[in-house]
Structure 1
């Protein structure tokens, strides 16, 4: 009997062990999971290729499997020398974040600044999230800084050549690029011809400026306004513009081409277009031929249209050149016809070349001289002489 009872007891112990041990193992396993923390911190792109001077932001996601929400502290475990990093939430720097039970996406972010002088290579940034209990996790950001070879700074225009008529204003869109590793303050200048005006206006601004500050590896559109002098002649004008900082001297060349404007004016030195003349007698009339355009005029020919029987000639029938804005004086010799009666006549004078022309109409008042006029004068002289003789002879009686 005793042997049978002992055997039963052993069997019961074995059964209980078979039932309890798995439960204990399961309970122990559950405790191990909880002890592992129940908190995970992650980001979508923990490995990135970057360049010196970059400003980065990593969105942080949290998974809480502890069964309850909790306040989680955040810290930077390691950061390369000279780098700057901090946690942000809702636009402000934070040191803690509340993580609800379950998955929490984009609850916080990590802002990272890579210095301009950072050498190329592989770097690690280690972050840690933890609670007062056993829940904690770390996140390693693997960053590869490429040795980007920066191009030189520049000041250029996509369309540096423009054309316009006299009196037109020119507007050039240029791009100023600061490819240096530091902030630059650029001062603007130009070598425009005398009487010209050049302005520099940043895009988005309404008023010109003399200088502008540009951050590293940034660019700015600058509108260069060019106003030619009022008397600028036709031709191509090259204007060198400069943006000068403490460490750089950037230049760009702009070309403003003023097209030819041709204009002639036929007049007299006094501006009067009328005179008197006598039939069959030559009359000299001073003419003034003015070039009112912005380019020289060559081979200017003078011609006339006069009444029948009249002759008109010029001291200089062809003028080789009249410079822009200048004038030349020429004498016109007008001789009314022998049979011209007293009265007003019109003589048209024209100046022209292959580019332009002008004409002016002169009113000529013709006076006639007859023998009776001479006889009348002689009779008057004789009458006065006779009266004088009479008074001389009989005046004493």
Structure 2
């Protein structure tokens, strides 16, 4: 074709494009418009915007190709790749279809994609090859190269789902995070948390139950990690920053994330018996008062405090006071616990469960009550025995003389 000889006019398309004149495919065509000013473009071109690319070992590479037909007629062109190393494979696609030839219409640009799959054991160096195109007996060559190198797939990141949590010292704080390995090789990440004193951090994989100190992540992959923070009860109110790190070797990628934890005060109730003892004595059928002490040893007020008890059947237990609107932190309240064992209770030890409950907190103690029978019952018993003896003696005296 006479027009093929005019391919030297490629300079009109821009020197940044690698080129060689030939033909294209109709599958992914777009219209080509001649420049409004200057001479018209006439010829065929095969171009690659990025003829020299780099890729990580074991990864496939895609190189976009463009075919420009600036002639008056379509020309069928056969396409092939030459010079690839042994073990490498390739395909040329128009859209999603493999093609071995192309035929663009006049004044159209067909977009193709060259997909190259390097061998898994390819050495780290630059490999040169070419795309050959044959149209009407003329052969054209487009030189390309692929460099195998250690190229990060992206950033290595540790991203928390909810970076700020709020609770009390009794709360178990859980931070769910995504760890992405942006390197081009599998990596074992060691997990750690830089937290204040009184904070205990543990890690688990995803939603698992086993605690871990490290997690393997494949190249370019993402794993889920859950960090749980528990607090000592003496941790003060306030906002606390925590830095979480996923670190491998000195030459490996690392990721860090900052999370925060807001601790609010919480009440803590303590309940003790008379003289710090949890045992006392009572008489069956009689009420006995035991002076208890209720203390809020927490870092916030205890609201809506109520006292209650579980006792043996037939027993009566009451409190003075029975309810408190609020018991401030660090404050003490004397509580009289009145216990009346059943009048039918026999002598022995009994357990009374005493509870103090407030909003979000409660305390329960077991109070052992030793029951003694009433003195009146002893007198009645002695009287019954005396009457029985008198009756017996009277009977002996009366009938014995006969």
Q: Into which bin does the TM-score normalised by the smaller protein fall?
A: 0.3 to 0.5
Q: More helix per residue: 1 or 2?
A: 1
TM-score by length of 1: 0.46
TM value normalised by structure 2: 0.46
Instruction: Point out the structure with max Rg over C-alpha.
Output: 1
